[in-house]
């Protein structure tokens, strides 16, 4: 759907012109929160002219404002944390609130009652709680605060893994989401994990090459973050999925630090269900952090370092008989627990400076490097030689300036530079040919590898907010992003042979033993390239209310995307946004909204098209269906592939190539409606319905497959001049409807609890833009609409934390912290395949049995229960040692991650006895022990 100039102009004008005489809408920044409320006397009459101040308990930084005629006050753009709030005016006793929590991206509501001054002028300490309902919030989001980050079980210390404890968020189950083509790993509302936006301190933190997360941070460096599944504020863009909005920690007026060490080992783990053995494991994680003042109440620093050293193994479950068969053909391969290593280091340094009460400056630098021999995943029926090892380095610098320009306007300016190198190298030391045996085994150099790339990111963002009247807030901003990419894509340069059942007697195993591949692929030429892409965005937003309790947020966003050539620029991306919040007193609120959200395309496949064009790189494909035989290279040469292009005889083989198709930026239309209800003073219940419709998602489609028929040659192609022609086009679709019931306790108490149940229906008609994931009939992709693998049909997740630290209890009961994460998911789908080229179109991987729809298989219910228990031993008021024990998958549930999806052994439909049997399980019960010294 496209918008006319009149529609565009109308949307932007509406943002500027709309107002109401009693309006007072608020919108927090991406890195801050707001504090607002109403000052009244002991008869609930509004008090104007009251000075309200908020002082950060850690840094001493203070801000103040004066209440308006209706008693309302607002202090915007506060750094998340705990504040001392004071209210003072003549003829009334001053009042103060000791511990007011301001959280990221939200508005904290605090009404202040003042008593008429009597004989004393002492400050009255008021015991009151902020409202559970945020009347200024229209999006659907969940906050992971510092207490959860510090206390919940997280043995992998992945700084965004707590996202999966929030509703409508799932792990990426795309079979191509690892290695050099890895994604963010997170699917939100069933949408592509390559189309999320991960933001750190307001800065882009995405690897635009594939849509993955770029820089890594120590968990200790993260203060809190939001998971925004429906981000209706027009400031949020560059996403067709959701937003992970993260802020890092800062220093304070007190010098504070910590040092930690965590240890996991196979002696503390259960056995793998497939091998009956414990997976070898030695995992050491250690690090330290330090923060404090350089100038009290003005300049602060914070630094954190973390190191991971992990030696473990993957369970390769290829059958012993198949291992013997493969070795008999001269290939080195092993099964059982096969070892690998992971080494990661990261460091962050952050400086905060207050030039004045109205000007705040932050500069942050971070560095990371890593090695992971499981980056290109292997295990199950995939041998280690088909995996890949990551070697990565990233260095980034970012700065921001926030300026309060009087009491009614402010500005946010941010800039970022990042330089990263990322390479995934094959684990096959001999760089041997890739071999795929359908339903049996996969080994040899993965087709994408080796794949090195270097990238540089430049980003600048500015947003100005002002209040033209005391009741209207308008925000306008712009952003520029540039991504430079240089690297190589030697796809199929190592060669690949695919074996499948070819007849009633020639099974996959028999075809391999006789040296009769169904297909052979090998590429030649120059795989190196260099290019850049850029995006320019602008947004405009107005917040107002139709009555004192009815907030309406209207906005529009424009996104200009210039991808890598030969893909065209997309310059007409207009995103209208409309959302509302309607509060019925302090205990009931309804909210909803609609918005369009444009994502940023991954540049990796575009880069591939510019290189694998049939000219710079020439890819030969031979199939058993006719023409030059795939048997020739397999049987003729010692390493089963052509030694050079001349030997391949490229001139007589129709070339295979990648080419651009119709391209436009992917987008989703999202809508939601729901309500929140307080249950007493401590509990908030919510019920939300969500709709998300994705369009124009980038996919790769073979537009020149073989068409079954007779003639010479048999099974001709639509264009006989070429072999496979993989066209990258914006034709993917997704559909998501879901409902979530939630229960959340108030933050800050000794007991915190969240629980979410989601029932959803997610569908799509694509898998990914990797070329091996084709439609069964790529000439009729509309038949592919089916349940998505990304979103379970049902999800229940719960977190709970209970702490007695600092409480006045007996010696045994105090200083304990107990926490848990419970996760249950059902209705996780996987694809069932026939095991041979049933429709004779040259692709043996995608065909399904007759009458079986896409993603018709089920992995069954998955359940995990993780526990964490810690005890703090205090040596002084400032120094304490926390002893920590974590147990993941307490019940030792056997959670199936992969199944053998090949239905038949032969073309005569002899059943595969291993069909629907597990080939990979999730981790079993595992213990981690550790200690943290806080000072």
Mean pLDDT for back-to-back runs of 10 residues, the chain (935 residues): 39 35 46 89 90 91 89 88 92 89 88 79 66 85 90 89 94 79 91 94 90 90 93 92 93 95 92 86 96 94 96 93 95 94 96 90 95 92 95 95 86 95 93 93 94 95 89 92 94 94 90 94 93 95 84 95 92 95 90 95 90 86 86 95 88 79 95 94 94 96 84 74 90 96 90 96 92 89 92 96 90 93 96 91 88 94 97 92 96 93 91 91 93 95
Taking the alpha carbons of 161, 164, 166, 170 in that order, is the dihedral positive or negative?
Answer: positive
The HSE-up count of residue 187 (CA atoms within 13 Å, CB side) is 22
Q: Among candidates 595, 770, 594, 598, which has minimal Cα distance to 196?
A: 598
Could you give the count of Cα atoms lying within 13 Å of 299 in the half-sphere of its Cβ? 5
Long-range contacts, stretch 713-719, CB < 8 angstroms, 24+ apart = 713/625, 713/626, 713/627, 714/625, 714/626, 715/625, 715/626, 715/840, 715/841, 715/842, 717/654, 718/779
Q: Where are the beta strands (DSSP E) in 765-861?
A: 786-787, 794-803, 816-826, 829-830, 857-858
Residue 686, C-beta contacts closer than 8 angstroms, at least 6 positions apart: 674, 675, 676, 677, 740, 741, 742, 743, 744
Question: Would you call the peptide bond into 566 cis, given omega within 30 degrees of 0 as the criterion?
Answer: yes
Q: What is the pTM of this model?
A: 0.89
Helices and strands, counts by H and E, the chain: 7, 51
CA angle 929, 931, 934 (to 5 degrees): 160
Q: Which residue has the tokens 């002492």?
A: 122
- Nearest Cα neighbor of 323 from 397, 250, 381, 244 is 381
The burial class, CB within 10 Å (0-12 / 13-18 / 19+), for 93 is middle
> Which H or E run contains 7?
helix 5-17
Count CB atoms within 10 A of the CB of residue 255: 13
pLDDT value for 76 = 86
- Tokens found for residue 264: 């996991």
- Looking at residue 712, its pLDDT comes to 56
As a whole number of Å, the CA-based R_g of the chain is 29
The residues pairing with 303 across neighbouring beta strands, listed in sequence order, are 290, 349
95: tokens are 């009042």
The tokens describing 136, both together, are 């200024």
pLDDT of 926 reads 93
| pLDDT value at residue 710 | 54
Among residues 86, 96, 98, 89, the alpha carbon closest in space to that of 124 is found at 96
pLDDT for the residue 723: 84
Spatial contact of 875 and 827, defined as CB atoms under 8 Å apart: no
Between vectors from CA 486 to CA 483 and to CA 488, what angle results, nearest 5°? Answer: 135
How many C-beta atoms lie closer than 10 Å to residue 718's C-beta?
Answer: 12
Look at the alpha carbons of 639, 640, 645, 649 in this order and tell me if their dihedral is positive or negative: positive
**Edge-to-edge strands, sheet with 203-204:** 140-144, 222-230, 243-248, 197-200, 203-204
Instruction: Supply the pLDDT for residue 438.
Output: 87
Distance, in Å, from the CA atom of 639 to the CA atom of 35, rounded to the nearest integer, reads 69
Smallest CA-to-CA distance from 516 within 844, 913, 834 is with 844
- In the three-class reduction of DSSP (H, G, I as helix; E, B as strand; rest coil), residue 322 is classed as helix
Closest CA to 157 of 249, 104, 222, 245: 222
Nearest-angstrom CA–CA distance, 13 and 601: 29
Q: Are strands 33-40 and 107-109 parallel, antiparallel or unpaired?
A: parallel
Residue 448 to residue 434: CA distance in whole angstroms: 10
Nearest to 677 by CA among 742, 755, 611: 742
- Could you tell me what percentage of the chain is helix, strand and coil, using 3-state DSSP and rounding each to the nearest 5? 10, 50, 40
Number of Cα atoms under 13 Å in the Cβ half of residue 57: 12
C-alpha closest to that of 754 among 766, 740, 733: 740
Q: 512-524 burial, b if ≥16 CB within 10 A, otherwise e?
A: beeebbbbbbbbb
Q: How far apart are CA 82 and CA 531, in angstroms?
A: 46
- In 3-state terms, what secondary structure has residue 298? coil
CB contact at 8 A, 52 and 66:
yes
Question: What torsion do the CA atoms of 153, 158, 159, 165 make, to the nearest 10 degrees?
Answer: -50
pLDDT at res. 128 = 59
Structure tokens at 447: 């087709």
Residue 378 and residue 444: Cα distance in Å, rounded? 11
> What is d(CA 871, CA 672) in angstroms, rounded to the nearest whole number?
42
CA separation for the pair 492, 481 (Å, rounded):
32
Q: What does the pLDDT read at residue 10?
A: 38
Pairing of strands 359-376, 388-404: antiparallel
Residue 364 contacts residue 399 (beta carbons within 8 Å): yes
CA neighbor of 211 nearest in space, from 179, 184, 187: 184
Residue 10, Cβ neighbours under 10 Å: how many? 13
Instruction: Report phi then psi at 21, rounded to 5.
Output: -65, -25
């Amino acid at each position: 759907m496209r918008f006319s100039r009149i529609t565009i102009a109308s949307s932007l004008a509406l943002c500027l012109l709309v107002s109401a005489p009693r309006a007072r809408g608020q919108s927090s920044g991406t890195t801050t929160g707001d504090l607002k409320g109403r000052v009244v006397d002991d008869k609930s009459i509004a008090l104007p002219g009251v000075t309200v101040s908020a002082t950060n308990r850690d840094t001493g930084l203070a801000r103040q404002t004066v209440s308006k005629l209706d008693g309302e006050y607002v202090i915007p753009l506060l750094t998340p944390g705990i504040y001392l709030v004071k209210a003072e005016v003549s003829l009334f006793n001053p009042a103060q609130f000791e511990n007011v929590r301001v959280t990221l991206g939200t508005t904290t509501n605090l009404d202040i009652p003042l008593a008429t001054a009597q004989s004393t002028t002492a400050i009255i300490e008021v015991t009151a709680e902020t409202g559970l309902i945020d009347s200024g919030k229209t999006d659907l989001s969940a906050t992971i605060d510092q207490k959860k980050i510090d206390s919940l079980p997280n043995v992998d210390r992945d700084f965004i893994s707590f996202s999966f404890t929030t509703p409508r968020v799932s792990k990426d189950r795309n079979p191509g989401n690892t290695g050099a083509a890895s994604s963010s790993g997170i699917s939100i509302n069933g949408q592509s994990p390559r189309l999320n936006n991960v933001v750190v301190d307001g800065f882009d933190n995405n690897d635009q090459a594939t849509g993955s997360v770029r820089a890594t941070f120590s968990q200790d460096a993260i203060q809190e973050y939001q998971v925004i599944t429906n981000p209706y504020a027009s400031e949020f863009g560059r996403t067709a999925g959701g937003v992970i909005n993260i802020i890092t920690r800062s220093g304070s007026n007190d010098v504070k630090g910590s040092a930690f060490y965590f240890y996991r080992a196979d002696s503390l783990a259960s056995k793998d269900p497939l091998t009956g053995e414990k997976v070898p494991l030695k995992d050491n994680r250690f690090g330290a952090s330090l923060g404090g003042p350089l100038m009290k109440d003005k300049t602060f620093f914070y630094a954190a370092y973390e190191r991971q050293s992990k030696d473990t193994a993957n369970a390769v479950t290829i059958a012993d008989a198949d291992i013997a068969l493969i070795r008999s053909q001269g290939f080195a391969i092993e099964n059982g627990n096969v070892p690998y290593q992971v080494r990661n280091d990261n460091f962050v340094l952050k400086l905060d400076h207050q030039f004045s009460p109205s000007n705040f400056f932050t500069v942050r630098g971070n560095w990371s490097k890593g090695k992971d021999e499981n980056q290109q995943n292997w295990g199950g029926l995939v041998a280690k030689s088909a995996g890949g090892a990551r070697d990565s380095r990233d260095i980034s610098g970012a700065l921001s300036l926030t300026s309060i320009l009087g009491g009614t306007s402010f500005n946010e300016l941010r800039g970022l530079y990042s330089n990263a190198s990322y390479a995934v190298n094959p684990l096959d030391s001999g760089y041997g040919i890739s071999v795929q045996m359908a339903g049996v085994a996969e080994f040899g150099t993965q087709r994408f590898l080796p794949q090195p790339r270097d990238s540089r990111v430049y980003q600048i963002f500015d947003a100005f907010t002002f209040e033209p009247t005391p009741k209207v807030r308008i925000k306008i901003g712009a952003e520029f992003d540039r991504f430079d990419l240089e690297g190589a894509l030697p796809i199929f340069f190592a060669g690949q042979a695919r074996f499948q059942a070819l007849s009633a007697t020639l099974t996959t195993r028999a075809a391999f033993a006789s040296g009769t591949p169904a297909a052979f692929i090998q590429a030649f030429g120059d795989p190196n390239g260099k290019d850049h892409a850029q995006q320019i965005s602008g947004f405009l937003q107005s917040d107002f209310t139709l009555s004192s309790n009815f907030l309406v947020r209207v906005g529009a966003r424009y996104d200009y995307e210039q991808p890598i050539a030969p893909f065209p620029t997309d310059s007409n991306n207009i995103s209208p946004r409309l959302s509302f919040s309607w509060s019925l007193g302090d205990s009931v609120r309804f909210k909803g909204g609609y918005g369009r959200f444009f994502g940023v395309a991954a540049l990796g496949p575009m880069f591939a098209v510019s290189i694998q064009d049939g000219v710079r790189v020439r890819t030969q494909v031979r199939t058993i269906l006719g023409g030059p035989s795939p048997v020739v290279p397999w049987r003729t040469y010692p390493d089963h592939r052509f030694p050079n292009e001349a030997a391949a005889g490229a001139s007589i083989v129709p070339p295979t190539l990648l080419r651009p198709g119709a391209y436009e930026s992917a987008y989703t239309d999202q809508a939601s409606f729901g309500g929140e209800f307080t249950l007493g003073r401590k509990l908030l219940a919510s019920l939300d319905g969500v709709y998300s419709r994705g369009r124009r998602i980038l996919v790769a489609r073979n537009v020149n497959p073989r068409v079954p028929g007779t003639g010479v040659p048999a099974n001709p192609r639509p264009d006989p001049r070429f072999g496979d022609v993989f066209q990258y086009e914006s034709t993917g679709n997704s559909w998501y409807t879901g409902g979530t019931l939630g229960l959340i306790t108030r933050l800050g108490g000794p007991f915190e609890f969240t629980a979410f149940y989601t029932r959803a229906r997610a569908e799509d008609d694509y898998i990914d833009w990797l070329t091996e994931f084709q439609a069964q009939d790529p000439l009729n992709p509309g038949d592919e609409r089916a349940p998505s693998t990304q979103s379970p049909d049902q999800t229940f997740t719960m977190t709970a934390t209970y702490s007695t630290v600092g409480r006045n209890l007996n010696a045994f009961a105090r200083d304990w912290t107990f926490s848990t994460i419970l996760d249950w998911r059902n209705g996780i789908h996987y694809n069932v395949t026939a095991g041979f080229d049933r429709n004779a179109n040259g692709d043996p991987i995608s065909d399904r049995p007759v009458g079986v729809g896409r993603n018709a298989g089920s992995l069954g219910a998955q359940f995990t229960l993780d526990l964490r228990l810690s005890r703090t031993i205090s040596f002084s008021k400032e120094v304490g040692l926390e002893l920590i024990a974590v147990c993941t998958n307490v019940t030792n549930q056997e959670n199936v991650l992969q199944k053998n999806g090949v239905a038949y052994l032969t073309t005569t439909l002899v059943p595969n006895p291993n069909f629907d049997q597990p080939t990979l399980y999730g981790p079993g019960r595992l213990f981690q022990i550790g200690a943290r010294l806080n000072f």
